[in-house]
Amino acid sequence: MKTAIIILNYNNFEATKNCIKSIMEQEQAAYSFVVVDNGSKTNCRTSLQNWLTSLFSDFTLVKESNKLVRLPSCIYLLLDKNYGYARGNNAGFKLTLSDNTIKNVLFLNNDIIFKEAIIDKLYATQQHFKDHVAIVAPLMLKRDRKSIDFYCAKSAITKHEIMWLYFLLSLENLAGILSKFGRDRYVLKKNLDKIEKKIPIAIEVISGSCFLVNKALFERIDCFDPHTFLYYEEDILCEKIKREHLTSYISTDCSCIHLGGDTTKVKGLVYTMRCGMNSASYFIKTYLKPNKIERFLLKPIFGLANLHLYIILFVRSTIKRNKE
């Protein structure tokens, strides 16, 4: 039984390199790397390709249209542009379908660092719950390697909560309500006793930064929804899992380090928030069944939030010009 480890790279050779090195130093399970390049610049692609070639004797470079019967130790998939989180991961996942030795897939962001072997422990949790389990994920730690990153597990969000979130955003986050709203979804804080006793915790929404899923199940639920570019992919996955009457779990006997989203920091606040609004609107309309009144309110709420982003952009550009 083998696990395919799918890692997205976008203009961040060093992060991807450090992620892969940490896995190779710690992991004992049988695995194959599927590194998906989401349209990085030529210098990043060349650096990563040269490094991977020096590391793996059976390194294989493929384009989007290629198919393989059996995955090598490392395959580097080049996409012609940045397709975002969902479509990028789906492209990597498709390469695993023809390899019958692959049973599970571990989806990783390249800002994850392994500090211990986790695949066998995640698999053990998966086997413990058998036909009732969907996704299994480790605890995630912050950069200090000690503090729990509570963002790695959340309760499911409702359509009204999303609408309130973006309405408050348009009003400059009055009284810090947005921050409190986010914290209330981080359910691991309510399960510290289970973490201490290393008891698996049932979770609705698990972070897409690191999770293990059965390959056949992921194919059955039709992978990630390709209509989102960034954000709400995990929430959509949660809804798909609900329809299968399955449960996801945090395996509290293993952990990895989450360094934080370097790629989204590079893109900037306005860009990432606009992606968030587009994904949120799609998520509500497609999966949360809004009534006529709710559909009517969506447009002005997201319109106000979008206006707020333009104001931020204008103020920032004005400040920059004045400094120059």
Taking only the tens place, the pLDDT of each residue in 111-148 is: 999 999 999 999 999 999 988 999 999 999 999 998 99
| 27: pLDDT strictly greater than 90 | yes
The answer to whether 154 and 185 are in contact (CB under 8 A) is: yes
Average pLDDT over residues 259-286: 77
Tens digit of pLDDT for each residue in 225-250?
Answer: 999 998 999 999 999 999 999 999 99
Q: Exposure pattern of 109-129 as b/e (b: 16+ CB <10 Å)?
A: bbbbbbeeebbebbbebbeeb
Compute the average pLDDT of residues 39-62. 96
Report the pLDDT averaged over residues 42-60: 96
Q: What is the pLDDT of residue 180?
A: 55
Q: State the CATH architecture for 2-278.
A: Alpha-Beta Complex (3.90)
**263 pLDDT higher than 70:** no
| Global confidence as pTM | 0.90
The per-residue pLDDT for 163 is: 86
Higher pLDDT, 166 or 202: 202
3-state secondary structure of 78: strand
Q: Where are the domains of the chain?
A: 2-278
pLDDT in tens, 147-196: 999 888 999 998 988 888 777 766 654 444 455 555 667 889 889 999 99
Residue bearing the bigger pLDDT, 184 or 222: 222
Residue 41: band (very low, low, confident or very high) from pLDDT cuts 50, 70, 90: very high
pLDDT of amino acid 100: 94
Q: Please give the pLDDT value at position 320.
A: 61
Q: Which of 124, 146, 118 is nearest to 25 (CA)?
A: 118
pLDDT of residue 321: 63
Calculate the average pLDDT of the chain.
89
Quick one: pLDDT at residue 183?
Answer: 60
Query: Can you give the pLDDT at residue 312?
Result: 66
The neighbouring-strand residues paired with 104 are 3, 214
SS3 letters across 285-319: HHHCCCCHHHHHHHHHHHHHHHHHHHHHHHHHHHH
Summarize the confidence of residues 187-216 as an average pLDDT: 94
- Whole-angstrom distance, CA of residue 262 vs CA of residue 272: 12
Q: What is the pLDDT of residue 175?
A: 44
Assign residue 68 a region (left: φ > 0; alpha: ψ between -120 and 50; beta: otherwise): beta
The pLDDT score that the predictor gives to residue 63 is 84
